[in-house]
A and B are shown apart, each in its own frame.
Chain A
Amino acid sequence: MYQTHKTHIKKDVKLQGLIDENPMLLLFLEHLKIDFVVKDKTVDEICRDHKLDLNVVLLIANIYNGFYPAKGELEHVNDISLLITFLKNSHNYYKNDKYPEIQKYISDLEKRHPSQDIDLISKFFNDYFIEVLDHLDYEDDTAFPYFCRLSRDKTKSETENFSANEYRDHHTDIETKLTDLKNLLLKHISIENDLPLRRRLLLSLFELEYDLNIHSRIEEEILLPLVQRIENQGK
Chain B
Amino acid sequence: MKKERINIALIGHPDIIYEGISNLLHRQSERYFLYRIDDIEELDILTVKAEINIVVLNPENIINRVNQMRKFRNSHPAIYFIALLYSLTDNRLLNEFDSSISITDTSDVLRNKIDHSQNNKKELSRSKLSDRENDILIQLVGGLSNKEIADKLNISIHTVISHRKNISEKTGIKSLPGLTIYAISNKLIPLSEK
Contacts and interface: CB of A to CB of B under 8 A. Distances in A.
Interface residues of A, number: 28
Nearest to B194: A120
Interface string B159-194: 000000000000111110110111011100001001
Contacts, number: 67
Interface in B108-131: none
A121 interface: yes
Contacts of A127: 177
Interface in A66-123: 66-68, 116-117, 120-121
B38 interface: no
B174 A116 contact: no
A183 B172 contact: yes
B181 A210 contact: no
A124 B177 contact: yes
Contact of A116 (B26, B29, B180, B184): B184
A209 B181 contact: no
Interface string B1-29: 11010000000000000000000001111
B177 A179 contact: no
B29 A183 contact: no
9 contacts: A117-B181, A117-B185, A176-B175, A177-B177, A179-B172, A184-B173, A186-B172, A188-B181, A206-B2
Interface of B: 1-2, 4, 26-30, 171-175, 177-178, 180-182, 184-186, 191, 194
Interface of A: 2, 4, 66-68, 116-117, 120-121, 124, 127-128, 176-177, 179-181, 183-184, 186-189, 206, 209-210, 213, 217
Given A117-B185, A184-B173, 5 more contacts: A68-B30, A117-B184, A124-B178, A177-B178, A189-B181
